[in-house]
Structures are given as structure tokens and as C-alpha cells.
């Protein structure tokens, strides 16, 4: 029982990091109907900014987190402006290919300019471990879970309660009518990218405090996994992305606990396959009506 | 007589290439580059069938390559030595040195096509694994299935210790030569061209435009999808087999998502829905990678940038949606002429 609870804590920790990244995929998909394949690498850039903020500027945790979120928000907006906006009317596939290109570009420019070495973030948080009924929770885990939950609640508030959030939902609902209602579509899309990238950077900072290895290719696997989380939850649905991320974290930690950890990726992807075979639109996704 | 120009030209070129490579007219480097170009043509045209003509978004082509590569490599390094020398099927230590010797005579070139066919069929069978979900799922969700397929295949090979685990298979004999690659590239172009202009192929095009309407027009969408996915993965398997017998060792990370992305880049560089475009795209990309080799890592900064600019300024790729005249069937040429009158 203790073991199960312990693994559950780990699963929630991993799931909340996935959720922060998956949210970015889902939000962008909601407004642009495109899969932003560069998102995983935006996460990587966020981790690197956090690294330099913590080592070069010697900042403590909270400013590091904020700086990294701000930097990547700018990056996200720039990417949208330069690479995606000119393709707004193009077939969806061209944008997806552009996104793949942007992702590769970010990976290799980091690799070529900073080198392939693995960097480690200095310990920014107290290394304290609490024990509740034999279940060990580190201060780190509490902060990770707390910060991501906080950000998710903020996001939910923003999307559901503010005017900009309403505009975002409106674009997802009907892209053609919204400009006619006087909604500044470009500004809302930029805002979506800023928020999505900022959340990915928060994920990156938290990830690199928990698993302290930062390297240029780190965004690839985690990006794909967060994308899968978004799809399992039903892409375009914000709450779905969060649920999908926790399911993925649970599956991954669960299979890792029962089977040898080498099999983790294999089983995770197999589970995703099965979920999509049973429910092709994801758990919270609504099948888009196909017009005949 | 005009009818025979193309086949005669191809046979002529094949003989010239055989002569040239057996007389060592090209350096090893040029030969290797030519082989890569040929293999990339096979991979690109086969992925174009799914991503261009059928309008799906498959990102797992390397998974099919892996299956073809492993099957063929197992046959050449394990099964044949087992029957010829009685070597164990699952070697415990290093390979006995005589294992590779069977591949030195000319006989190997009679056996190799058969081995490749087996590898291709294995990959085609795996193609079913993607074809069946495609009955229900389209677009981004199917992309996930292909992505998951790629990871599952890679991870499965990594975890099979009998196949070398993450170290992979080594001591593969070098059988892939320029003429053979030329032959298989020509076969893949020919087969996929003919598939597209067959009634099944037109069904595939109809599915891309509108699946429901296609069904109404009596297109058997399930059968067309199965055929398209299996044909595509068959040639990916052949390409993988050829690659394995060029590299001489394979391991699961050879066939990662990066390899799939590379093939995707070639497809979109050349242009979607065009056999000629795939031919050009694969050759141009392989050439470009070689030309930029002195740049080292910065090459991979430049190539994605190129891809982005391509999408911004020339969305259809080099030759998207068009065909060289010699790749069009006669009736199509006539139809084109009639349409332009």
C-alpha cells in the first residue's frame, strides 16, 4: 500500500509536468487546428534559459521560473509571427511541416552553439524530505505539483472567466464568424502562443529541477509524450489535456513499477494505441463533424 | 518502337552502372552517395503514396524500414550461415569468421532479391497494423498511431536480447551495390506509378479528396487503404534491407523518429503527389546533405531553415502535383494534351 502511494506521488509529479506541456499543444490546436511540433523544443529552450538564469545570473527559484517563462513566451510569439502566420491560409499540412522544421532548427542551433554536453541545474529548492505514513514526499515534489496545479487553475480561470479567454474559445468554436464579431484574431493567437510557450517553459524549469539533466535533444521525447497526452485527452480540450497527462504519467510510472523499466516506452505507446483504437477522438475530444 | 524506349534505356543504364561499378570507375565515396540516393528515392516515393496521394500524415516510416532491415539482416547473418555452416541461430559470443564468406561469390546476387522480398513482405504485414486503425481514425490521430508504431518497433528491437538488444546486429555482409539499388529504385517508381494510375490508385486519390463521397462512388475504401499502406511499407522494408547491407551493422536507433522525419523532409522538398517530385526530392536532399558536409553540425541548422523557407515561398515543393512526361502513362499524356487544347 505504501509502495502504491509512493508510486502515485511520482505519477502525479510526472503527470503535472506533462500537463504543463500538453496544455500548450491543446491550446494551439484549439485556435489554429494545427499540431505545433516545435512545442517540445520550446520546452527545451525554457529549460536552458532556466539553467543560464540559475548559473550565470545566480537567481533563486521564483525569478528563474519567471524569466524562463517570459523568454519562451517571446520565443513562441516570434515563431508564430515568422513561421506560422504567413501560412494561415495554406493547407494545414504545410504548417505542420514548418513546425517540424522549426523544431529541428531549435534543436540543432542549441546543439551547434552550446554543445551536446549534459548540464545540471544547481539545486534551487530545499532538499527536504517529509514522511507521511511512510510515504516520502520531497519538498521538490510538493513545489512541482503545487506550481503546476496553480498554473493550471490560473489558466482555467483565464480561459473561462476573462474576455481574452472567451475570444480564444470562440476562435476554437468557429474561426470564420469570430473576426466578424470584432475579435482581434491575430492578437488572440499571439497571446495563445505566449501562454502555451510560457507553460512549456514552466514545465521545463520544473522538469530540470526534478530530473536535473538539460541537453538539446531533451524536448524531443518529452514533446512527443506530451503531445500524446493531449491527444489521449482529446486534442483541443484543455481539461482533456490535463487528464490525458495524468493518465500518461500514471501509465508510465505504473508500467515502470510492475515491469522492467526498459519496457516502459514500449508499454506506454501500446496503451496509447489501445486507447485510440477504442476511442478514436480521445477521452474528451468531440468528433468534428465531417461535411458531405 | 517508341514504346520500348524507356525499358531499353533503363536496361542500358543498368548495364552501364554494373560495368562501371565492377570496373571501379567511381570512387567508393561516389558509390556510397549514389546508393544513398537510390535508397532515399525508394523511401520517399513509398511515403509519398501515403502522405501525398492518400493525404494521410504518417510519421513512422522508419518503423517499417526497421522491420525490413532486421528481417533481411537476420536472414543473411543468421539463417543462411545456420544452414550452410551449422552456426547457431542465436550466437552467444562473437560470430565465427566463416559466417560472412557465403556472401562473397556471385550466387549472393541471385539470393539477395529473394531475401529483400521477404523483408518487404514482413514490413507490408506490419503495414496492416497501421492500415486497420486508419479505418476509424484520420489526420492527427492517425499520425499518433504511426508515431507510436515507430516507437513500439524501435523499443521492441531494443528489448529483444536475441537480436542484440540496443547494440543491434553486426557483421552484415556488404551486398548492396549501385546497380541493385538502381534496379530497386526503378522498380519502386514503376510499381507506385502504376498503382496510382490503376483503379485502386484512383480510389486512393478519391479518399484523399473526400472519403465519404468516395465510398458513395463504390470505392472500397478499406481495401484501398490496406493496399496503399501495405505497398508503402513493403517498399520501406526493401529500402531498410538495402540500407542494412550498406551500413553493415544496424541497431534500433538507426530507425528512430529522426529517420522518419528525414524521409518526410524529402517528400515535401520534392513535392506531394508526384512520383517525379519524390525522385527529385530524394536526389536533391541527399546531394545537399553531402555538399553541406563540411559545415558539420550547422548543416542541420541550415536544412530545417531551408524547409521553412520552402514552405513559406514554394509550398508545393520542387515538383509537386506534376509529373515528368516519361513517368506518365500514355493515356494520361493524351488526356493532358487534350485538356490543354
Note whether residue B117 is domain-resident.
yes
Residue A137 predicted with pLDDT over 90: no
- pTM of structure: 0.88
**pLDDT > 90 fraction of chain A, expressed in percent and rounded:** 33
List Cβ neighbours of B292 (8 Å cut-off, separation of 6 or more). Answer: B299, B302, B303
CA-CA distance, B124 to A88, in Å (whole number)?
37
- Give the tens place of pLDDT for each residue, A163-210: 999 998 888 888 788 888 888 888 999 999 999 999 999 999 999 988
CB contact under 8 A, A266 and B261: no
Interface of A with B (CB under 8 A): 29, 35, 83, 86-87, 90-91, 93-98, 100-105, 107-109, 111-112, 220, 224, 227-228, 231, 235, 262-263, 265-266, 269-270, 272-273, 276-277, 280-282, 290, 292
Output B65 or A24, whichever has higher pLDDT: B65
The pLDDT tens digits for A120-130 are 888 888 778 88
pLDDT at A245: 92
Distance from the Cα of B162 to chain A's closest Cα (Å) equals 15
In a domain, A140, yes or no: yes
Kindly report the backbone phi and psi dihedral angles of residue A270, in degrees, each rounded to the nearest multiple of 5, phi listed first.
-65, -40
Instruction: Report whether B81 contacts B169 (CB < 8 A).
Output: no
Q: What does the pLDDT read at residue B258?
A: 85
Chain B: give the shortest CA distance to residue A292, in Å.
7
Q: Is B144 in Cβ contact with A272 (below 8 Å)? A: yes
pLDDT in tens, A236-274: 788 888 999 998 999 888 888 888 877 888 888 888 888
**Higher pLDDT, residue B107 or B116:** B116
The beta-carbon neighbor of B145 closest among A102, A112, A273 is: A273
Provide the 10 A C-beta neighbour count for residue B174: 11
- State how far residue A118 is from chain B, nearest Cα, in angstroms: 17
- Which site among B52, B130, B144, B281 would you substitute to test the A interface, given the most A Cβ atoms closer than 10 Å to its Cβ? B144
CA distance A13 to A10: 5
pLDDT confidence band for B95 (50 / 70 / 90): low
- ipTM value of the model? 0.81
Q: Which residues pair with A130 in a beta bridge?
A: A137
Say yes or no: B45 contacts chain A, CB-CB below 8 A. no
How many whole angstroms separate alpha carbon B50 and alpha carbon B225?
9
- Note whether residue B306 is domain-resident: yes
Residues of B in contact with A216 (CB under 8 A): none
Residue B131 lies in a domain: yes
Q: Is residue B216 one of the residues assigned to a domain?
A: yes
Q: What is the pLDDT of residue B96?
A: 60
- The answer to whether position A267 is within a domain reads no
Q: Is B213 helix (H, G, I), strand (E, B) or coil?
A: helix
The average pLDDT across A221-233 equals 86
pLDDT averaged over every residue in chain A? 87
Tell me: the pLDDT tens digits for A27-50?
A: 888 888 888 889 999 999 999 999
Sequence-ordered alpha helix ranges (H) in chain B: 5-22, 28-48, 61-74, 80-85, 108-131, 139-158, 178-197, 199-209, 211-216, 221-247, 257-270, 275-291, 299-313, 330-340
By residue count, chain B amounts to 341
Q: Are B33 and B96 in contact (CB under 8 A)?
A: no
Indicate if the pLDDT at residue A287 is higher than 60: no
Q: Assign residue B142 the CATH number of its domain.
A: 1.10.3470
**Which residues in chain A have their CB less than 8 angstroms from residue B151's CB?**
224, 265-266, 269
% of chain B exceeding 90 in pLDDT: 40
B213 touches chain A (CB under 8 A): yes
With a cut of 60, say whether residue A290 has pLDDT above it. Answer: no
The pLDDT value given to residue A288: 55
Q: Which pLDDT does position B2 carry in this prediction?
A: 61
Place B3 in a pLDDT band, splitting at 50, 70 and 90: low
Nearest-CA distance from A114 to chain B in Å? 11
- Note whether residue A284 is domain-resident: no
Specify the number of domains making up chain B. 1
Grid coordinates of A198: 510560457
pLDDT at A75: 96
Is the model's pLDDT at A278 over the cut of 90? no
Residue B91, phi-psi category: left (phi > 0), alpha (psi -120 to 50), beta (remainder): beta
Cα Rg of chain A (Å, integer): 19
Residue-wise pLDDT for B258-316, tens only, equals 899 899 989 988 988 899 999 999 999 999 999 988 888 888 888 889 888 888 888 88
Residues A229 and A248: beta-carbon distance below 8 Å: yes
Q: What is the pLDDT at residue B320?
A: 79
| B256 found inside a domain | yes
pLDDT at B188 over 50: yes
Pairing state between β A135-138 and A129-132: antiparallel
Q: Which is more confidently placed, B19 or A75?
A: A75
3-state helix, strand, coil in chain B (%, to 5): 80, 0, 20
Question: How close A50 gets to chain B, by Cα (Å)?
Answer: 23
Q: Calculate mean pLDDT across residues B174-196.
A: 91
Of the pLDDT bands very low, low, confident and very high (cuts 50, 70, 90), residue A286 is: low
pLDDT for residue B236: 97
Write the pLDDT tens digit of every residue in A147-174.
Answer: 999 999 999 899 889 999 999 888 888 8
- pLDDT above 80 for B6: no
Asked if residue A110 has pLDDT above 90, the reply is: yes
Nearest C-alpha neighbor of B189 from the set B278, B273, B113: B278
Residue with cell 493518465: A247
Domain count, chain A: 1
For every residue of A228-242, DSSP letters joined together read: HHHHHH-TT-HHHHH
Query: pLDDT higher for B4 or B110?
Result: B110
Give the CA angle between residues B31, B9, B247 to the nearest 5°.
20
Could you tell me the pLDDT band of residue B100, with boundaries at 50, 70 and 90?
A: low
Report whether pLDDT(B147) > 90. no
Residues B142 and B134: beta-carbon distance below 8 Å: yes
Residue A13: is its pLDDT beyond 60? yes
Whether B149 is covered by a domain: the verdict is yes
* Confidence label for B92 from pLDDT (cuts 50, 70 and 90): low
Contacts of A281 in chain B (CB under 8 A): 141
Q: Which domain holds residue B35?
A: 2-14+27-91+106-336
Q: Is residue B20 part of a domain?
A: no
Amino acid at each position: 500500500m505504501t509502495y502504491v502511494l509512493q508510486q502515485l506521488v511520482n505519477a502525479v509529479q510526472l503527470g503535472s509536468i506533462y500537463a504543463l506541456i500538453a496544455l500548450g499543444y491543446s491550446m494551439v490546436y484549439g485556435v489554429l487546428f494545427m499540431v505545433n511540433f516545435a512545442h517540445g523544443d520550446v520546452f527545451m529552450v525554457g529549460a536552458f534559459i532556466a539553467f543560464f538564469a540559475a548559473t550565470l545570473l545566480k537567481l533563486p527559484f521564483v525569478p528563474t521560473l519567471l524569466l524562463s517563462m517570459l523568454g519562451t513566451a517571446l520565443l513562441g510569439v516570434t515563431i508564430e509571427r515568422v513561421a506560422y502566420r504567413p501560412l494561415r491560409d495554406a493547407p494545414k499540412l504545410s504548417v505542420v511541416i514548418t513546425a517540424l522544421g522549426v523544431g529541428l532548427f531549435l534543436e540543432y542551433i542549441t546543439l551547434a552553439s552550446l554543445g551536446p554536453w549534459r548540464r545540471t541545474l544547481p539545486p534551487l529548492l530545499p532538499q527536504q524530505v517529509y514522511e507521511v505514513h511512510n510515504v516520502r514526499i520531497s519538498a521538490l515534489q510538493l513545489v512541482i505539483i503545487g506550481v503546476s496545479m496553480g498554473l493550471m487553475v490560473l489558466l482555467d480561470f483565464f480561459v473561462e472567466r476573462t474576455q481574452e479567454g472567451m475570444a480564444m474559445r470562440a476562435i476554437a468554436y468557429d474561426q470564420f464568424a469570430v473576426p466578424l464579431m470584432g475579435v482581434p484574431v491575430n492578437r488572440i493567437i499571439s497571446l495563445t502562443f505566449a501562454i502555451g510557450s510560457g507553460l512549456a517553459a514552466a514545465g521545463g524549469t520544473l522538469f530540470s529541477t526534478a530530473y536535473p539533466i538539460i541537453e538539446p535533444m531533451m524536448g524531443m521525447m518529452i514533446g512527443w509524450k506530451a503531445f500524446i497526452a493531449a491527444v489521449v485527452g482529446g486534442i483541443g480540450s484543455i481539461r482533456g489535456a490535463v487528464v490525458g497527462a495524468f493518465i500518461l504519467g500514471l501509465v508510465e510510472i505504473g508500467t515502470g513499477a510492475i515491469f522492467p523499466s526498459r519496457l516502459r516506452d514500449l508499454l506506454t505507446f501500446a496503451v496509447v494505441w489501445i486507447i485510440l483504437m477504442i476511442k478514436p477522438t480521445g477521452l474528451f475530444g468531440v468528433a468534428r463533424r465531417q461535411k458531405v | 518502337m517508341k514504346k520500348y524506349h524507356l525499358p531499353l534505356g533503363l536496361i542500358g543504364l543498368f548495364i552501364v552502372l554494373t560495368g562501371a561499378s565492377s570496373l571501379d570507375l567511381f570512387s567508393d565515396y561516389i558509390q556510397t552517395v549514389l546508393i544513398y540516393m537510390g535508397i532515399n528515392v525508394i523511401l520517399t516515393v513509398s511515403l509519398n503514396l501515403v502522405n501525398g496521394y492518400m493525404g494521410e500524415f504518417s510519421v513512422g516510416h522508419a518503423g517499417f524500414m526497421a522491420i525490413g532491415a532486421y528481417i533481411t539482416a537476420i536472414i543473411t547473418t543468421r539463417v543462411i550461415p545456420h544452414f550452410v555452416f551449422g552456426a547457431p541461430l542465436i550466437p552467444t559470443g562473437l560470430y565465427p569468421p566463416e559466417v560472412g564468406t557465403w556472401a562473397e561469390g556471385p550466387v549472393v546476387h541471385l539470393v539477395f532479391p529473394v531475401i529483400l522480398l521477404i523483408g518487404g513482405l514482413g514490413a507490408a504485414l506490419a503495414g496492416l497494423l497501421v492500415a486497420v486503425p486508419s479505418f476509424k481514425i484520420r489526420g492527427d490521430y492517425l499520425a499518433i498511431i504511426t508515431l507510436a508504431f515507430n516507437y513500439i518497433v524501435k523499443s521492441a528491437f531494443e528489448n529483444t536480447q536475441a537480436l542484440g538488444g540496443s547494440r543491434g546486429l553486426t557483421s552484415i555482409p556488404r551486398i548492396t551495390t549501385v546497380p541493385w539499388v538502381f534496379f530497386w529504385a526503378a522498380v519502386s517508381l514503376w510499381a507506385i506509378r502504376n498503382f496510382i494510375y490503376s483503379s485502386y490508385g484512383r480510389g486512393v486519390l478519391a479518399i484523399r479528396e473526400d472519403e465519404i463521397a468516395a465510398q458513395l462512388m463504390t470505392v472500397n475504401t478499406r481495401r484501398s487503404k490496406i493496399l496503399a499502406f501495405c505497398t508503402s511499407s513493403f517498399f520501406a522494408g526493401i529500402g531498410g534491407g538495402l540500407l542494412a547491407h550498406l551500413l553493415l551493422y544496424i541497431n534500433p536507433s538507426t530507425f528512430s523518429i529522426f529517420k522518419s522525419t528525414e524521409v518526410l523532409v524529402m517528400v515535401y522538398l520534392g513535392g506531394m503527389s508526384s512520383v517525379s517530385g519524390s525522385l527529385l526530392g530524394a536526389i536533391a536532399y541527399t546531394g545537399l546533405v553531402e555538399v553541406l558536409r563540411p559545415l558539420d553540425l550547422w548543416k542541420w541548422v541550415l536544412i530545417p531553415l531551408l524547409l521553412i523557407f520552402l514552405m513559406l515561398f514554394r509550398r508545393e515543393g520542387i515538383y509537386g502535383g506534376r509529373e515528368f512526361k516519361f513517368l506518365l502513362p500514355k493515356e494520361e499524356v493524351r488526356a493532358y494534351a487534350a485538356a490543354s487544347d
